[in-house]
Structure 1
Amino acid sequence: MKALKEEIQTHLEEEILPFWMRLIDETNGGFFGEVDYDLTVNKEADKGGIATARFLWTFSSAYRVTKNPLYKTHATHLYKFLRDKLYDKEYKGIYWLVDYEGKPKDTRKHVYAQSFAVYALSEYYRITKDQEALDLALEIFYLIEEKGYDKTNQAYMEEFDRKWAPTPNEMLSENGLVADITMNTHIHVLEAYTNLYKANPTEYLKKSLITLIEVHYEKIYNKDTKFLGVFFDKNWNVLVDMKSFGHDIEASWLLDEAIKVLGIKNAAYDKMVIDIAYNIAGYAMQKDGSLINEEVGTELDKTRIWWVQAEAMVGYLNAYMHTKDPRFEVLIKNLWEYTKENIVDKREMGEWFWSVEPDGRPTKRSIGEPWKTSYHNGRFCLEFIERVDNK
């Protein structure tokens, strides 16, 4: 595992991070918003709130793990853009989208986007101890709790307009439905709150996290099938028979991280974490070493998406560290070999393709855009570095 970790660290520092650092916008702030499939940088593309937060988290975490001062410089550049351009000083919260100059373009507020701001700002605080960054993270945390949390059904709501009036959840719904509650938002609120707790542990935050873990176990996780529900109505009724393999394996290690950070001792929670990993390993892994995307009803989507492979490697590493089952070690190595051969873009100045089609062709979708940043594959690398070094 040590040799694999060293290979992954080299990939992070020589390929992934340099690709994104080339996108620094010295004139308008942040990073340029799009790199198309042909690797052409669109310097006038819109800049996403989620994307900027994900970049900020990546470069903050990269500095914390490697101590390379170049990463801290980029993190500070991104922090200033998020603080000055993406944060709504009048109505609070992070915009969904600004234009290339940083002017508000889509002023919707989404709990998912707010969560990533908390995640990123708390990570930036961890490397700088900049009180302003922590204060902003806490302000958005309390905003989520005040505006975005339904105490009646213990659910985080989804989408709002600029002034925080609820609106239909267009941004995180699919399959012809509009979901009141999503698993995706809940796992990323959990992720954000866990990181905020690492930066600034408080009793209020601890209670929120404990409730979130319980909600995942009681409402989102299906103890019979070992899958997580994806879309729900206001009463936590599942809206569609859907399995999202990447989200499930991601959730397994994010839940485990929250459990570990809080020091919770609960055999049922521990079993959930490991059962999810075994379930995805048995149900959705392919002979070529990859993990396919999802299943809706009886229809399998066999697209191999970049972030799904990245999160699977972290999820299986987490499961291996718990169980020492060599099966997980084999799964990780096969996933990495598949990713290197098929997902990593070997073109000069390339990064990772968005996905590979079932027939093996790379999907002709932008390499960088509001939904594709340095976060998933960067985090996979950083998790490997930390976990293998510290085991």
Structure 2
Amino acid sequence: MPKSLPELADEYRRELLDQVVPFWEQYSLDRVHGGYFTCLRPDGRVFDTDKFVWLQARQVWTFATLHRRVDAGRGWLEVARHGADFLERYGRAPMGGWYFSLTQAGEPLVVPYNIFSDCFAAQAFGQLYQATGEERYGTLARETFTAILARRDTPKGQWSKAIAGTRPLKNFALPMILCNLALEIESLLEPEMVQRLTDECLREVMTVFLDEETGLLLEDVHPDGSRSDSFEGRLLNPGHAIEAMWFVMDLAERRRDTELLHRAKDLTLRTLEYSWDTEHGGVFYFLDRLGQPPQQLEWDQKLWWVHLETLIALLKGYHHTGDARCLEWFHRVHDYTWKHFRDSEQGGEWYGYLNRRGEVLLDLKGGKWKGCYHVPRALVQCWWELDELGGRR
């Protein structure tokens, strides 16, 4: 029999406060050079010392958020400052963009080709500004956000590998993130800009990238919104689609737009039904909209962030619409996620990568792409949603 909502809320809260956050506090802080180690084995040992700017920024955001919204008395603000100081000193290139990666001591390794370093830097310093009121953090967030908007039509700029004009494509990830980022740093922006930007992002996410034939969200379309019959143009990324839907639900709640809430909930369920592995359980990483073989060899892996974002979206969908299918799916995804990704032996942070059968593929707790972000964010979000659904918030 499934646990009650209050019991589940307590489970998520304990996992956050007693296991996951202490793991990163104990093992990730570089006390010599500053910043955070993210390449960590199950027992917390560091296996690589390179520092990836978007993961540094994500961890700053996580601890600043925990300080602001969970408990201001646990020293989490100092953990956030620890990473922010390192980013301020070393993370930004002379031309203003944020590097992709640095050495342990802060020397640049990879140029600022990836606009998501900038997105998460803006998010981190915006959250830190709200936590401290210190203007330098607000200035950094605002300047970075302005630069993102200037680059959004050509996010990789001179570092793009594609030949210009042959097969121009725009990607789903940036409007998806901007939906959330604009609200994260809203206090630093003009209200008209926030309204205009969120309107544009909602149109892109819910209309331009929506494939009417399948009712699913595509990862890439032509700049005019037309479909591309190519690997990229047929690509589905269920995790991106579902994560975007809870961003949209937050916007819809803010706007009191009941129709939009139901559309986002329905898209969540449709994506989940299409991408669930009926043989082994779990959500596939990549799929092709026409059922063709995807180009990604890792298409059938099961990833931590995909399942965690799904849990958030399902709870928000149930909370805002009362659709019982959301709660039924939540229990199913919860059981799979906690059984396979959570480290029941050593505790701490969760595993990130499983094979199709649900077996741990890489026994790391953090690496180049996985840091202190999706697990704690999802635990917080689910804890709060479950508390509210159970009548305790």
CA offsets 1:130-172 (integer angstroms, 9 cap, x no match): 22111111001111122x133xxxxxx3213xxxxx32158xx
- Residue number in structure 2 paired with 1:98: 102
Match of 1:174 in 2: none
Who is 2:156 aligned against? 159
Mean alpha-carbon deviation: is it higher for 204-213 or for 190-199? 190-199
Whole-Å separation in 1 of the counterparts to 2:247 and 2:325: 21
Q: Which residue does 1:221 correspond to in 2?
A: 210
2:24 matched to 1:26?
A: no
TM-score by length of 2: 0.86
> Take 1:201 and 1:386, find their aligned partners in 2: how far apart are those partners?
29
Corresponding residue of 1:246: 239
* Matched residue SS, 2:105: coil
Farther-moved stretch of structure 1 (302-311 vs 199-208): 199-208
Q: Which moved more, 1:129-138 or 1:67-76?
A: 67-76
Unaligned runs of 5+ in 1: 151-156, 161-165, 171-176
Amino acid across the alignment from 1:80 = D
Cα distance between partner residues in 1 of 2:357 and 2:263:
34
Cα RMSD, aligned residues only: 2.5
Normalising by the residue count of structure 1, what TM-score does the alignment of the two structures yield?
A: 0.86
1:60 is the counterpart of 2:64: yes
185, 192, 195: which is aligned to 1:196?
Answer: 185
The 5 Å alignment of 1:1-391 reads 1-21=5-25, 22-36=27-41, 40-42=45-47, 45-67=49-71, 68-88=73-93, 90-146=94-150, 148-150=151-153, 157-160=154-157, 166-168=158-160, 180-197=169-186, 200=189, 202-239=191-228, 240-261=233-254, 263=255, 265=257, 267=259, 269-286=260-277, 290-296=282-288, 297-298=290-291, 299=293, 301-348=299-346, 350-364=348-362, 366-390=364-388
Deviations 1:240-286 (A, max 9, x none): 3122111111111112223334x26473x334312211202322234
Deviation for aligned residue 1:206: 2.4
Does the 8 Å contact 2:38/2:370 carry over to 1?
no
Q: 1:372 to 1:188 in 2, by over 3 A?
A: same
Shift of residue 109, structure 1, vs aligned partner = 3.5
State the Cα distance separating 1:224 from its structure 2 match. Answer: 4.2
Give the deviation of 1:199 after TM superposition.
5.9
Residue pair 1:289, 1:337 contacting (<8 A) in 2 also:
no
Cα distance in structure 1, aligned partners of 2:167 and 2:6: 45
Q: SS at 2:362's partner residue?
A: coil
Q: CA 1:47–1:179 in 2, change beyond 3 Å: closer, same or farther? A: farther
Q: State the AA in 1 paired with 2:350.
A: W
Q: Which moved more, 1:121-130 or 1:311-320?
A: 121-130
Structure 2 stretches lacking a partner, 5+ long: none
Q: What is the distance in 2 between the residues matched to 1:258 and 1:196?
A: 14
Letter in 1 for 2:204: V
Percentage of identical aligned residues? 20
Find the residue that maps to 1:363 and give its secondary structure: strand
Letter in 2 for 1:276: L
How far, CA to CA, are the matches of 1:120 and 1:136 in structure 2?
10
Q: Distance in 2 between matches of 1:324 and 1:252?
A: 16
